[in-house]
Amino acid sequence: MHHRASRVFVLVAAALAVPVTLAVLLTGQLELHASINRVHAPWADALFATGTHLADGWVSVGIGLVLLFVRWRWFLLFAVGTVGSALVAQLLK
């Protein structure tokens, strides 16, 4: 069963990767960017502009405070992950 599931996963991944790879290789960067950005929904612009702020530091502080009172280990794991992610993001900028 596990072998079959792996094979299906690889086939689906390849079926998705081949057209994307061809589009990237056969299209210029500006043309590809313009064609991708042409497909969008106006309601999604407002949703994602607001949703972007969910990754703000204050949301992480709120989640951390809740976890602090629920489970100490969950809080510790969350804090290490959040701080590690912030450090990596700052190093890559």
Placement of tokens 């081949």 in the chain: 18
pLDDT, position 54: 75
Output the tens digit of pLDDT for each of the chain's 93 residues. Answer: 578 889 999 999 999 999 999 989 999 989 989 888 888 888 888 888 888 877 677 888 999 999 999 999 999 999 999 999 989 989 998
pLDDT, position 1: 56
Report whether 78 contacts 67 (CB < 8 A): yes
Question: CB-based burial of residue 72 (10 Å sphere; 0-12 exposed, 13-18 middle, 19+ buried)?
Answer: exposed
Element (H, E) at 75: helix 72-92
